[in-house]
Amino acid sequence: MMDRKHLNEVPFVSVENMMRLALATGIEQCLIELTGYIEEDFRRWPLFDKTPRVASHSKEGVIELMPTSDGIDYGFKYVNGHPKNMREGLQTVTAFGLLASVDTGYPVLLTEMTVLTALRTAATSAMATRYLARPNPRTLCLIGNGAQAEFQALALKAVCGITHLRLYDIDRTASEKCRRNLADSGLAITLCSSPEEAIEGADVVTTCTADKNYATILTDNMIGAGLHINAIGGDCPGKTELHRDVLLRSEIFVEYPPQTRIEGDIQQLDDDHPVRELWQVVAGEAPGRGSETEITLFDGVGFAIEDFSALRWLRGKIESGSGYCERLDMIADPDEPRDLYGMVLREAGRMAEA
């Protein structure tokens, strides 16, 4: 017999509990574990429902839903992107997500996903770097030092072995914030005064800027042979980070082409320009880097399967007895499934007695 109380009370992970869980586990350990979950789901990519995210655009930003299912569980994330929020003291990106059982349709997890998305985005960059960069990368150039920056740096340190970090942001206070937050990370950190300075000697470049416009954070003359680039700031139509010539020189890897061609840096290219799907590299069905001198580019816009992986990871953490959740009374459960109104009447009676 089903545990009806368990079905009705849905585990909810608040921002406070997410932070506590991450700190208790260790941020770098979280990133290592999440990378493993994402890699596992990339290997079984064909099993998933796949659709470009459903987006509602406005002049101020975008609100999106990102659904997917592996036939056993169903997950979605609600996420926004509003660059102007930063000027008002608000987060550029906020999110929450839900995981449900395909068998019953009942939700099994509701959670904040602002912190969790930062973790999974960094883990995805680390996974891409592990498969596409030259062996044993040591220096990361991080352009755009906002809310994602520290997670990105720690993921590449924990998963790929990065030891040196070179920072640049048009707002130097953002770089100073990043250096301050990572002071005890063990990374050797250099603040740079230009993108050109930041990229010197780098094995990997990650761009994660927030402005919603066509930008050229990296130009062709900045890119040397053998570099790996994670371009993760472009995530909607009209928003890019790389000059078109950089794309034309690179071997390009993406999550889901129908979405990336609309939202990623490759929106600058013809629709038939060849790209490779990262899941095929992870699954061993397609080659990754071809040579030491090849320039590889992960044009990452974020895809629902990565959020699904993060939700699976989080469900496992709270089911292991960590206790970092509360239970919400979300599902109506009348004694007789067809008698929903009767349930309401009985509650009226209890209220009258009280």
Average pLDDT over residues 248-262: 96
The SS3 of residue 84 is helix
CA-angle at 76, arms to 124 and 56, nearest 5°: 95
Average pLDDT over residues 262-268: 92
- CA distances 317 to 34, 138, 348, Å, are 11, 31, 39
Check: CB of residue 115 under 8 Å from CB of residue 22.
Answer: yes
Nearest Cα residue to 142 out of 205, 67, 95: 205
Residue 212's pLDDT band (cuts 50, 70, 90): low
How far apart CA 56 and CA 185 sit, in angstroms, is: 38
Q: What distance lies between CA 266 and its chain's CA centroid?
A: 19
How far apart CA 264 and CA 39 sit, in angstroms, is: 21
337: DSSP letter: T
Average pLDDT over residues 107-119: 97
pLDDT, residue 210, reads 65
Q: Which domains does the chain have, with CATH numbers?
A: 4-115+306-331 (3.30.1780.10), 134-301 (3.40.50.720)
* pLDDT digit string, tens, across residues 277-325: 999 999 999 999 999 999 999 999 999 999 999 999 999 999 887 689 9
Identified catalytic residue from 235, 265, 299, 307: 235
235 is catalytic: yes
Out of 21-25, 166-170, 350-354, pick the least confident.
350-354
pLDDT at 5 > cutoff 70: no
Q: What distance lies between CA 138 and its chain's CA centroid?
A: 23
Cα radius of gyration (the chain): 22
pLDDT, residue 213, reads 66
Nearest Cα residue to 302 out of 123, 145, 134: 123
pLDDT, residue 239, reads 79
In this structure, are strands 9-13 and 54-57 parallel, antiparallel, or unpaired? unpaired
pLDDT over 70, % of the chain: 96
Residue type at 155 in one-letter notation: A
Residue 262 phi, psi dihedral angles, 5° rounding: -90, -40
Averaged pLDDT of the chain: 93
For tokens 């950089």, the residue is 246
Q: Which residues contact 117 (CB under 8 A, 6 or more apart)?
A: 77, 79, 93, 95, 302, 307, 310
How far apart CA 235 and CA 210 sit, in angstroms, is: 9
pTM above 0.75, yes or no: yes
* pLDDT digit string, tens, across residues 159-210: 999 999 999 999 999 999 999 999 999 999 999 999 999 999 999 999 998 6
* pLDDT digit string, tens, across residues 72-112: 999 999 999 888 888 899 988 899 999 999 999 999 999 99
Average pLDDT over residues 249-255: 97
pLDDT, residue 40, reads 98
Out of 26-30, 264-268, 349-353, pick the least confident.
349-353
Strand blocks (E) in 192-263: 204-207, 214-218, 228-231, 240-242, 251-254
Nearest Cα residue to 123 out of 17, 60, 40, 200: 40
pLDDT at 1 > cutoff 50: no
